[in-house]
Amino acid sequence: MIGIIDYGMGNLRSVSNAFRSLGYDALIASSPDELDGADKVVLPGVGAFARAIDELRKSGWADRIYDVIASGRPLIGICLGMQLLFETSYENGAHRGLGVFPGLVRRIPDGAGPDGRKLKIPQVGWNRIDIRTKSDILDTSGDTYVYFVHSYYADTDPEYVSSTASYGTDITASVERGSVYGVQFHPEKSGSQGLEILRKFAALGGRAS
């Protein structure tokens, strides 16, 4: 079963519906104890980093996330959920994250795209990702286009970066470390290629119901 963490700041229904469309049971967990039966866990996120990390800590979710990781159960952070896995975010001040991945969350720098036009921030829309290393969940057989909505990105050790996207600079599009994964884009909004990423994640050590 896929456990989706509900801490009040996630795109829960669309993530849940995406897994169910693939044939997997998905539970939206409103308390840490509800994750006991989940063999894979999703940390979604939409909104501001400071409020999100505060909600995770005061509700007990942060400790449960560490427990999930320590147990070896696969966990994936989506969009803000990925950013929360890093050490520090500089979104509206400096805020300490969960520290699962080393690195900082920074604002996308102002700049120009390949056509010379000023880039819009946030990045909203489809972009191609470039695969950087062997991945458990990404399709490395051809071009992959996914849907982004974000103003900040993770600046981390290349060792953990499984893909990047170009948006004025190289944006960390996905990371992997052991059984922990993160995607800056929204696979649940990325058509068949996004669903394939979720399918590969759900299939890690498990099977469809």
Residue pLDDT, tens place only, 102-148: 999 999 998 766 666 788 999 999 999 999 998 999 987 778 999 99
Longest CA span, the chain: 51
Which residue is it, tokens 């604002």? 107
Backbone angles phi, psi at 122, to 5 degrees: -75, 160
Q: What is the pLDDT of residue 112?
A: 60
Residues 90-112 have pLDDT tens digits of 999 999 999 999 999 999 998 76
What is the pLDDT at residue 118?
83
DSSP state, residue 106: E
Q: Could you report the per-residue pLDDT of 30-60, keeping only the tens digit for each?
A: 999 999 989 999 999 999 999 999 999 999 9
Locate 128 and state its tokens: 């191609």
Return the domain boundaries, the chain.
Answer: 2-202
CB atoms within 10 A of CB 119: 14
| Active-site annotation, residues | 79, 186, 188
Contacts of 109 (CB under 8 A, 6+ apart): 168, 169
Residues 163 and 132: their CA atoms lie apart, in Å, by 5
Cα 18 vs. chain centroid, distance in angstroms?
A: 15
Greater confidence (95 vs 205) lies with 95
Q: Note the Cα 148 to chain centre separation in Å.
A: 11
The letter for the amino acid at 66 is Y
Per the omega criterion (within 30 degrees of 0), is the bond before 122 cis?
Answer: yes
What pLDDT sits at residue 10?
A: 78
How far apart are the C-alpha atoms of 51 and 57, rounded to whole Å? 10
Query: What's the CATH class of domain 2-202?
Result: alpha beta
